Amino acid sequence: MIPVSRPYIGRRERRAVNKVLRSGMLAQGPEVEKFENEFSEQLVNGAFSIAVNSGTSALHLSMLALGISAGDEVIVPSFTFAATANSVVLTGATPIFADINLKTFCIDPDSVKKLIGPRTKAVIAVHLYGQSCDMTSLSLLCKANGLYLIEDAAQAHGAKWLNKPVGTWGTVGCFSFYPTKNMTSGEGGMITTFDSNLADLLRLLRNQGQKKRYHNEVIGLNNRMTDIHAALGRVQLSRLSRWNDQRREIAATYSDQLVNVQTPYIAEEAFHVFHQYTIKISEMERNLFAEELKKSGILTGVYYPIPVHKLPSYNKNIELPNTAEIALQCLSLPIFPTLRKKEIEKVIRVVNGISLEKR
Ligand SMILES: *Cc1c(COP(=O)(O)O)cnc(C)c1O
C-alpha cells in the first residue's frame, strides 16, 4: 500500500534521541534551546522561537499571551483541523467562522472583512496544505482594524508569501511537529514572534508562569517540549529544505501529468511546500476514485470531510458555500519525500486510468 504520508526517521534521528536518553536529562534543556535557535535562523528570519509540546498548545498559548479571553471574537476558517477553532474556545473567546477562497482553499480576506465587529480581537490565517494564505490582504485588513494576526502554520514549515516566510507575517506564528507534518519531533510545536515582550510571556506561560523555579509570576501551564523531542526535531529541521523541494517536485510531476482532475492552484505570490497534494473532483466521483485507488494499493485522504462549524462540537447553523463545496470535493493523493519514482508513476497511471475510463 502507498500511504498518503509516511514520516521518515533515520539513523541520525535515532542517534540524537539516544544521546539525550543516555544523558539522563530528559525535560526541557539545552536541546530545546538549540532547536529554538536553529528554527529562528533557518525558518523565520531570526524571529524569537518558543518550543512547546504541540501545535495546539502553540495556538492556545499565543492567544493567552495576547490577552484573548471571554467576550472576544477570533475569526477563523472553518475548512481546517478542529484544533484551530478549539484553541480559541479554550481561551474563553468565540471563534467566528469565515469562508475560504475557492482556488487556494485558504481563508478568504473578503469573508473575514464582513465578519469584523466591535468584539473582534484577532484573525487566524491557516496556511492550508502547505500554501500561504493571502498575507498581503490579511495584513492590511488586520492593521486597518487593529487586530492581531495569528498564523496557523502547522502545515507550512518553510512556505512563503512574496518570498517572506510564513510565521513572520503575523503577530505570532504557530507550527506543529506532529508525525505527518513536513517535519516532526514526535509531538511538538513552535511559536514565532518578533515581539520580545510577547516571547518572554510565552516562555512563562509554557512553564507554570515561572522563570525562576518556585517564583511563579503569572498563571501558566506545563506545555514544555522535552529534550528528547527537540533532539529529534533538530535533525528533521536539517532535512526540511531538501524535503520541501522533493515535495514540490512530486507535486509538479503530478500537476504536469494528471488528466481530467482539477490539480492544485498555486497563487503567484506563494512558495507552496505541499503538505498535501489535493485535487478537486465532483462529490459523486470522489468515492469511486478513492475506492479504485485503494484497490490498486494507493491510499488517499479527505482533509477535511466536515467543516469545523458543522462538527458536533460546534454545530453552528451558518452557511459557508465555498467551504461546503470543497469539503465534498477535496481528495489528497500520496505525497512525502520518500515516495519513490515508481510509486509516483503508479499514482499517475491509476488516477489517469480511472478518469479516462469514466468518460
Ligand atoms: C496539525 C494541525 C494543528 C495542531 O497541531 P498538533 O501538533 O497536532 O496539536 C493545528 N492546525 C492545523 C491546521 C493542523 O494541521
User: What are the tens digits of pLDDT across the range 2-49?
Assistant: 999 999 999 999 999 999 999 999 999 999 999 999 999 999 999 999
Residues 6+ apart with CB under 8 A from 184: 7, 177, 178, 232, 233, 236
Q: How far apart (Å, rounded) are the C-alpha atoms in residues 12 and 26?
A: 18
Residues 58-66 have a mean pLDDT of: 98
d(CA 179, ligand 1 centre) in Å: 11
Q: What is the pLDDT of residue 318?
A: 96
Q: How far apart (Å, rounded) are the C-alpha atoms in residues 62 and 54?
A: 12
* Residue 207 Cβ contacting ligand 1 at under 6 Å: no
Percent of the chain with pLDDT over 90: 97
Percent of the chain with pLDDT over 70: 99
Amino acid present at 297: G
Q: What is the pLDDT of residue 355?
A: 74
Backbone φ and ψ of 25, nearest 5°: -100, 100
d(CA 59, ligand 1 centre) in Å: 9
Closest-CA residue, ligand 1 atom 2, reads 154
* Residue 83 Cβ contacting ligand 1 at under 6 Å: yes
Mutate to test the pocket of ligand 1, among 152, 273, 274 (most ligand atoms within 8 A of CB): 152
Model confidence pTM above 0.95:
yes
User: What are the tens digits of pLDDT across the range 49-60?
Assistant: 999 999 999 999
Tell me how far apart the terminal alpha carbons of the chain are, to the nearest angstrom. Answer: 27
356 — pLDDT class (breaks 50, 70, 90) = low
Strands 48-52 and 189-193: antiparallel
Residues 115-131 have a mean pLDDT of: 98
Backbone φ and ψ of 152, nearest 5°: -95, 95
Least confident of 116-125, 139-148, 173-182, 278-287: 278-287
